[in-house]
Amino acid sequence: MIGKDARVPDTDQADHQPLELNLPRVQEANQSYASVSNRPVLSPRPAKRLCILTCMDARLDLFRALGLSPGDAHILRNAGGRASTDAIRSLVLSAHHLGTREFGVIHHTKCGLYQVSNQAIWDGVTDATGADASHIDFLPFDDLGASVRQDVDEIVGCGLLPADGVVWGATFDVDEGALTVVVPPTPLA
Protein backbone atom coordinates (compact mmCIF):
# COMPACT_ATOMS: atom_id res chain seq x y z
CA MET A 1 0.00 0.00 0.00
CA ILE A 2 3.03 2.23 -0.23
CA GLY A 3 4.26 3.84 -3.44
CA LYS A 4 7.28 2.55 -5.35
CA ASP A 5 9.36 5.59 -4.52
CA ALA A 6 8.17 5.91 -0.97
CA ARG A 7 9.60 2.70 0.38
CA VAL A 8 8.52 3.15 3.92
CA PRO A 9 7.16 -0.25 4.90
CA ASP A 10 3.49 -0.20 5.80
CA THR A 11 3.99 -3.23 8.00
CA ASP A 12 7.02 -3.92 10.09
CA GLN A 13 8.11 -5.99 13.02
CA ALA A 14 6.08 -3.93 15.45
CA ASP A 15 2.87 -4.83 13.60
CA HIS A 16 3.33 -8.43 14.69
CA GLN A 17 3.93 -7.68 18.36
CA PRO A 18 1.07 -7.83 20.86
CA LEU A 19 -0.66 -4.46 21.02
CA GLU A 20 0.70 -2.26 23.76
CA LEU A 21 -2.28 -0.14 24.69
CA ASN A 22 -1.59 3.59 24.73
CA LEU A 23 -4.56 4.64 26.81
CA PRO A 24 -2.93 4.32 30.28
CA ARG A 25 0.04 6.39 29.14
CA VAL A 26 -2.06 9.06 27.48
CA GLN A 27 -4.26 9.28 30.57
CA GLU A 28 -1.20 9.84 32.70
CA ALA A 29 0.10 12.50 30.34
CA ASN A 30 -3.31 14.13 30.31
CA GLN A 31 -3.37 14.39 34.09
CA SER A 32 -0.39 16.70 34.03
CA TYR A 33 -1.80 18.58 31.02
CA ALA A 34 -5.14 19.12 32.76
CA SER A 35 -3.47 20.15 36.03
CA VAL A 36 -2.20 23.40 34.48
CA SER A 37 -4.37 26.09 35.97
CA ASN A 38 -3.65 29.08 33.75
CA ARG A 39 -4.95 27.60 30.55
CA PRO A 40 -5.69 30.35 28.01
CA VAL A 41 -9.31 30.87 27.08
CA LEU A 42 -9.48 30.52 23.32
CA SER A 43 -12.25 31.35 20.89
CA PRO A 44 -13.54 28.48 18.76
CA ARG A 45 -13.22 30.90 15.84
CA PRO A 46 -9.67 30.50 14.45
CA ALA A 47 -7.78 33.71 15.23
CA LYS A 48 -5.94 33.72 11.90
CA ARG A 49 -9.09 32.85 9.95
CA LEU A 50 -7.09 30.00 8.44
CA CYS A 51 -8.28 26.48 7.61
CA ILE A 52 -5.79 23.92 6.34
CA LEU A 53 -6.62 20.58 4.75
CA THR A 54 -3.78 18.12 5.07
CA CYS A 55 -2.83 14.49 5.51
CA MET A 56 -3.17 12.43 8.68
CA ASP A 57 0.49 11.36 8.33
CA ALA A 58 2.02 10.95 11.79
CA ARG A 59 5.14 12.88 10.78
CA LEU A 60 3.30 16.14 10.12
CA ASP A 61 3.26 18.63 12.97
CA LEU A 62 1.84 21.60 11.13
CA PHE A 63 1.38 23.76 14.20
CA ARG A 64 5.13 23.76 14.71
CA ALA A 65 6.07 23.64 11.04
CA LEU A 66 3.91 26.66 10.18
CA GLY A 67 4.32 28.68 13.36
CA LEU A 68 0.75 28.21 14.50
CA SER A 69 -0.60 28.04 18.03
CA PRO A 70 -3.79 26.48 19.39
CA GLY A 71 -6.69 28.75 18.52
CA ASP A 72 -5.06 30.02 15.32
CA ALA A 73 -6.42 27.68 12.67
CA HIS A 74 -8.51 24.69 11.79
CA ILE A 75 -6.40 21.75 10.66
CA LEU A 76 -8.54 19.23 8.78
CA ARG A 77 -6.81 15.90 8.36
CA ASN A 78 -7.60 12.80 6.38
CA ALA A 79 -5.65 10.24 4.37
CA GLY A 80 -3.78 12.27 1.78
CA GLY A 81 -5.33 15.60 2.74
CA ARG A 82 -7.80 15.05 -0.08
CA ALA A 83 -10.81 17.29 -0.77
CA SER A 84 -13.30 14.51 -0.19
CA THR A 85 -16.98 15.10 0.41
CA ASP A 86 -16.36 15.02 4.14
CA ALA A 87 -13.46 17.46 3.87
CA ILE A 88 -15.74 19.86 1.98
CA ARG A 89 -18.31 19.43 4.77
CA SER A 90 -15.75 20.61 7.33
CA LEU A 91 -14.46 23.44 5.12
CA VAL A 92 -18.00 24.78 4.70
CA LEU A 93 -18.63 24.69 8.44
CA SER A 94 -15.23 26.25 9.15
CA ALA A 95 -16.03 29.13 6.81
CA HIS A 96 -19.68 29.79 7.49
CA HIS A 97 -19.90 28.96 11.19
CA LEU A 98 -16.44 29.82 12.41
CA GLY A 99 -15.30 32.62 10.17
CA THR A 100 -12.32 31.23 8.27
CA ARG A 101 -11.53 32.80 4.89
CA GLU A 102 -8.09 31.45 3.93
CA PHE A 103 -8.07 27.81 2.89
CA GLY A 104 -4.84 25.90 2.35
CA VAL A 105 -4.32 22.43 0.88
CA ILE A 106 -1.07 20.75 1.92
CA HIS A 107 -0.03 17.35 0.54
CA HIS A 108 3.33 15.85 1.39
CA THR A 109 6.22 13.78 0.10
CA LYS A 110 6.34 10.07 0.93
CA CYS A 111 2.56 9.98 1.39
CA GLY A 112 1.05 6.52 1.77
CA LEU A 113 -1.43 7.33 -1.01
CA TYR A 114 1.32 8.15 -3.50
CA GLN A 115 1.53 5.77 -6.46
CA VAL A 116 -0.78 3.15 -5.05
CA SER A 117 -4.01 1.98 -6.63
CA ASN A 118 -7.48 1.64 -5.25
CA GLN A 119 -7.35 -1.99 -6.37
CA ALA A 120 -4.26 -2.69 -4.26
CA ILE A 121 -5.89 -1.08 -1.23
CA TRP A 122 -9.16 -2.93 -1.79
CA ASP A 123 -7.22 -6.20 -2.12
CA GLY A 124 -5.36 -5.51 1.12
CA VAL A 125 -8.60 -4.93 3.01
CA THR A 126 -10.14 -8.08 1.55
CA ASP A 127 -7.04 -10.14 2.38
CA ALA A 128 -7.14 -8.91 5.98
CA THR A 129 -10.86 -9.07 6.64
CA GLY A 130 -12.63 -10.89 3.82
CA ALA A 131 -14.77 -7.78 3.35
CA ASP A 132 -15.26 -5.73 0.21
CA ALA A 133 -14.17 -2.08 0.44
CA SER A 134 -14.51 -1.35 -3.28
CA HIS A 135 -17.29 1.15 -2.65
CA ILE A 136 -14.63 3.45 -1.13
CA ASP A 137 -12.43 5.59 -3.37
CA PHE A 138 -9.28 5.97 -1.30
CA LEU A 139 -8.21 8.89 -3.52
CA PRO A 140 -4.63 7.77 -4.27
CA PHE A 141 -2.49 9.95 -6.54
CA ASP A 142 0.49 9.67 -8.88
CA ASP A 143 1.69 13.26 -8.95
CA LEU A 144 2.06 15.31 -5.79
CA GLY A 145 1.68 18.74 -7.37
CA ALA A 146 -1.21 17.58 -9.54
CA SER A 147 -3.09 16.20 -6.54
CA VAL A 148 -2.76 19.56 -4.78
CA ARG A 149 -4.04 21.41 -7.86
CA GLN A 150 -6.90 18.95 -8.22
CA ASP A 151 -8.01 19.50 -4.64
CA VAL A 152 -7.70 23.27 -4.90
CA ASP A 153 -9.90 23.06 -8.01
CA GLU A 154 -12.33 20.88 -6.09
CA ILE A 155 -12.56 23.46 -3.30
CA VAL A 156 -12.96 26.37 -5.72
CA GLY A 157 -15.52 24.43 -7.72
CA CYS A 158 -17.67 23.29 -4.83
CA GLY A 159 -19.34 26.70 -4.85
CA LEU A 160 -20.10 26.54 -1.13
CA LEU A 161 -17.35 28.75 0.26
CA PRO A 162 -17.47 32.53 0.75
CA ALA A 163 -16.66 34.67 -2.28
CA ASP A 164 -14.30 36.82 -0.20
CA GLY A 165 -12.15 33.82 0.67
CA VAL A 166 -8.93 32.57 -0.92
CA VAL A 167 -7.52 29.09 -1.41
CA TRP A 168 -3.91 28.05 -1.95
CA GLY A 169 -2.06 24.80 -2.33
CA ALA A 170 1.35 23.62 -1.19
CA THR A 171 3.52 20.57 -0.78
CA PHE A 172 5.42 19.68 2.36
CA ASP A 173 8.70 17.77 2.34
CA VAL A 174 8.69 15.44 5.33
CA ASP A 175 12.48 15.09 5.26
CA GLU A 176 13.37 18.74 4.86
CA GLY A 177 10.37 20.16 6.71
CA ALA A 178 9.97 22.64 3.86
CA LEU A 179 6.70 24.01 2.50
CA THR A 180 6.53 24.80 -1.25
CA VAL A 181 3.59 26.73 -2.63
CA VAL A 182 2.31 25.18 -5.85
CA VAL A 183 -0.95 27.11 -6.15
CA PRO A 184 -0.70 30.74 -5.03
CA PRO A 185 -3.64 32.30 -3.15
CA THR A 186 -6.59 32.21 -5.51
CA PRO A 187 -9.83 34.14 -4.90
CA LEU A 188 -12.88 31.97 -4.44
CA ALA A 189 -15.10 34.49 -6.20
The rounded distance, in Å, linking the Cα atoms of 133 and 81 is: 20
The rounded distance, in Å, linking the Cα atoms of 176 and 110 is: 12
By three-state DSSP, how is residue 123 classified? helix
Part of the chain binding Zn ion (CB under 5 A), chosen from 95-103, 110-118, 138-146, 165-173: 110-118
Q: Cα 40 from chain centroid?
A: 26
Phi/psi of residue 180, each to 5°? -125, 120
State in angstroms the smallest separation of the CB of 54 from Zn ion: 8
Nearer CB in complex with Zn ion: 46/112: 112
State in angstroms the smallest separation of the CB of 108 from Zn ion: 5
Binding mask 130-169 for Zn ion (x = CB under 5 A): ----------------------------------------
Measuring CA to CA, how many Å separate 183 from each of 4, 31, 65, 97, 147? 26, 42, 19, 26, 11
Part of the chain binding Zn ion (CB under 5 A), chosen from 35-43, 52-60, 124-132, 173-181: 52-60
Which residue of 2, 50, 105, 111 would you call a contact of Zn ion, by CB under 5 A? 111
